Amino acid sequence: MLENFKTKLLASVNSFSLAIQRKVQGIPRGPSYIYNSVVARFLKPMHASLSDYISATFRGRVFLDVGCGTATLIINILGKVRAYAIGLDISKAMIKIAARNILKHKVKEHVDLVVGDAHKLPFRSNSLDLIMSTGTLHHLRNIEEFFRECRRTLREEGKAVICELSYDIKPEELKEQSRKWKRPKRILKLAALMHGIPRTEYETGFIKEALEKSVKKYRILFKGIVTTLVIRK
């Protein structure tokens, strides 16, 4: 009974956090600086892992990072592959920080930054080889619409790689994640609880429902605290 109460409590906290972030959507000016100095560093292991995967598998010319934030992921990938990158974020404050980071790392000639809405991607149909997103789904009010936009803008052989944190993982998975990322277990779980989407939503919840309504080809990868959704055209 106690375990059941704990599960329901965590689910309620996560739902409440999601509701707040969907209402705000973009990160305001003040919190954007905190994100740049604290959260971006916390997520560094995830960005490093994803950039390794992308650089090893990317065969196109143009990729988009939706909810690009500080542009950390874009900078990491451009350090490994020759490509043209677009960073999109609904927050003007985050785009300004991203622009400074891109100048600092001297990759400006390979990147365009756009203030825009993930629900209505400002790009032509069949124009993108790859769409990436890390920690953005939990900010979106209409995930089904975002999935549709991914399919519309991707080229025929393109794909979308969308990563979120999930708190509902086994203790041994959390322990292993803590070891790999060199982050305390409690901090990892709290971050996933407050800024992520649980695995159950991909299996039977609103993510599963949105996928079935909008996507033909997809797969879900559960690996530690990171849940990765891969959408094909």
Task: State pLDDT tens for residues 135-160.
Answer: 999 999 999 999 999 999 999 999 99
Write down the pLDDT at residue 14: 79
If you average pLDDT over every residue of the chain, what do you get? Answer: 89
Q: Domain ranges in the chain?
A: 2-232
Q: Which CATH class is domain 2-232?
A: alpha beta
pLDDT, position 204: 96
What is the model's pLDDT at position 72? 92
Express each pLDDT in 86-139 by its tens digit.
999 999 999 999 999 999 998 888 999 999 999 999 999 999 999 999 999 999
Average pLDDT in the 31-57 region?
75
CA atoms lying within 13 Å on the CB side of residue 89: 25
10 Å CB burial of residue 213 (0-12, 13-18, 19+) is exposed
pLDDT over threshold 60, residue 18: yes
Cβ–Cβ under 8 Å, residues 192 and 165: yes
Q: Where are the beta strands (DSSP E) in the chain?
A: 62-66, 84-89, 111-115, 128-134, 154-165, 217-223, 226-232
